[in-house]
């Protein structure tokens, strides 16, 4: 599966790498093999995984040939976003 990064996603990843050492490879691995995918805004989906005391979330749009990463962020609000009954 091909991964496409938007400019915004690349900028956000660099910011999070400075703050929490979230690497580009970690984000790509998450998008390729997420712990969980939940609906996002409009047509976007969100790949997510628990990381440390929080949640790494990667909103993306899926096409037949790629997953286009829109942004990335880490949040401590696991209970708000994690869906216990889905994988």
- Structural domain tally of the chain? 1
Q: What is the pLDDT of residues 14-43, one digit of tens each?
A: 999 999 999 999 999 999 999 999 999 999
Q: What is the pLDDT of residues 1-19, one digit of tens each?
A: 899 999 999 999 999 999 9
Whether 13 maps to a domain, the answer reads yes
Contact 68, 6 (CB under 8 A): yes
The CATH number of whichever domain residue 55 belongs to comes to 3.30.2310.20
pLDDT of residue 1: 85
Whether 70 maps to a domain, the answer reads yes
Whether 47 maps to a domain, the answer reads yes
Whether 65 maps to a domain, the answer reads yes
* Domain enclosing residue 65, as ranges: 2-81
Contact 47, 40 (CB under 8 A): no
Whether 59 maps to a domain, the answer reads yes
């Amino acid at each position: 599966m091909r991964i496409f990064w938007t400019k915004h996603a690349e900028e956000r990843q660099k910011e999070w790498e400075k703050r929490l050492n979230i690497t580009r490879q970690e984000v790509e691995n998450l998008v390729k093999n997420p712990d969980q995918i939940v609906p996002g805004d409009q047509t976007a989906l969100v790949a997510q995984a628990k990381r440390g005391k929080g949640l790494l979330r990667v909103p993306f749009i899926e096409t037949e040939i790629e997953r286009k990463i829109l942004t990335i962020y880490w949040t401590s609000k696991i209970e708000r976003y994690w869906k216990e009954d889905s994988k």
